[in-house]
Amino acid sequence: INRAGAAMLGRSVNEVLGQNMHGLVHHSHKDGRHYPEEVCPIFLAFRTGQPCRNDQEVFWRSDGSPFAVEYSSHQVIDQGQVRGAVITFSDISKRRYAEEQLQHAKQELEVRVAERTAELSAALNQLRQLSAHAHSVREEERKRIAREIHDELGSLLVALKFDVNWMARRVADREEVSRKCSVMNRLIESAVENVGRIITDLRPSILDHQGLIAALEWQVQEFAEATEMQCDSSIEATPDAATPEPNLATAVFRIFQEMLSNIARHAQASAVHIRIRLRQDALLMEVADNGVGAQQAALYRADSYGVMGMRERALHFGGDLQISSQHGEGTLVRLTVPVPNAAPNIVEQALQQISGTP
């Protein structure tokens, strides 16, 4: 042994020479368990003819303290016979300490990341709940305003129309006044139409009175008439389909509106392919266009509020919104939303029983 090796073991060269190396410095594992010589890699190296290298064990100093060591063992062969082995070892305590500190820091970082991730997830969930509440409040407010406009302004316009007609009948012989009454009548009719449009934009009554499927069909018809695009649509509910609760139905309807609105504003398409199927457990929706498409990066920009809003609405109800688009190849939007704990469509079942369909 050289002086550096002996000093590493806390001994002199003379103390080491003639000693069984395993019994002197390699007799125990780090935890104090006995280390049998017959399984020692150093001895096995020259007994089996296979060299070894190990950096996961310890050697023991003369004061009984262990230190992390990296060692290698190679046979010494003389005239075809194994005469022994050359063992090279070095103290890697500092390296092992640095590795342990790094591992400890990594574990602490993972704990902190997990805690922060949990906090961010909780905050995101609260934000999503707040967003959903805001949507719900906004829909209720739209419904209230639409109802008041219908009840108050609508009834006033109808009453005004009756009064103008009453006046027109009594001034039929006065051409100038009669002509003015006709103009007023047309203005009132235009106002009634505008009020109806405003009410529909605020909250389509068909959604509340006839359900989601009817509202979606109506929206497709309105879209086709407004854009003059070719709409290939199939909207249906399976016989066992459940009726989505009002908030879910509203969210799906608004997502569908946003899909069509994006096509009208950005796609430059001439045709739209729509497939919607309401099943017992979920609603599946696909809307594809043959427009200019978009780069994927554009769909995930921070200012893509329309896409972001659709995703958030879907996520709030446990749904999933996927968008596939390539520049010049159109866009496909898929929406899947579960319909949890929903009661069967009683009206649908009753109609089936009356008609005798299975």
Domain boundaries, the chain: 3-91, 122-201, 210-355
pLDDT-based confidence at residue 107 (cuts at 50, 70, 90): very high
CA distances from residue 149 to 94, 193, 218, 233 in whole angstroms, order as listed: 80, 13, 22, 33
Q: What mean pLDDT is reported for the chain?
A: 85
Q: Residue 278 pairs with which residues in a beta bridge?
A: 237, 283
- pLDDT reading at 90 higher than 60: yes
Q: Which of 23, 18, 32, 16 is nearest to 65 (CA)?
A: 32
Q: What angle do CA 292, 295, 300 make, to 5 degrees?
A: 125
Per-residue confidence (pLDDT) for residue 346, from 0 to 100 = 40
- pLDDT reading at 116 higher than 50: yes
61-77 tens-digit pLDDT: 999 999 999 999 888 87
Crossing angle for the helix pair 93-148 and 246-262, nearest 10 degrees?
100
Q: How many CB atoms lie within 10 A of CB 342?
A: 15
Q: How many CB atoms lie within 10 A of CB 261?
A: 12
Those residues whose C-beta lies under 8 Å from the C-beta of residue 146, and which sit 6 or more positions away, are 198, 199, 202, 203, 205
151-194 tens-digit pLDDT: 778 888 888 888 888 988 888 888 888 888 889 989 988 888 88
CATH of domain 210-355: 3.30.565.10
Those residues whose C-beta lies under 8 Å from the C-beta of residue 272, and which sit 6 or more positions away, are 223, 229, 230, 231, 232, 233, 260, 263, 287, 288, 289
- CA–CA distance, 252 with 273 (Å, rounded to integer): 18
Per-residue confidence (pLDDT) for residue 101, from 0 to 100 = 93
210-355 has the same fold as 3-91 = no
Per-residue confidence (pLDDT) for residue 104, from 0 to 100 = 93
H-type alpha helices, 37-174? 41-48, 93-148, 155-170
Radius of gyration of the chain (CA): 41
20-47 tens-digit pLDDT: 889 999 999 999 999 998 888 888 877 7
- CATH number among 3.40.1160.10, 3.30.460.80, 3.40.50.970, 3.30.450.20, domain 3-91: 3.30.450.20
Question: What per-residue string of b and e applies to 105-144 under the rule 16 or more CB within 10 Å gives b?
Answer: eeeeeeeeeeeeeeeeeeeeeeeeeeebeebeeebeebbe
- pLDDT reading at 341 higher than 80: no
H-type alpha helices, 203-245? 205-209, 212-227
pLDDT-based confidence at residue 202 (cuts at 50, 70, 90): confident
The pair phi, psi for residue 62, each rounded to 5°, is: -65, -25
The mean pLDDT of 331-346, rounded to a whole number, is 74
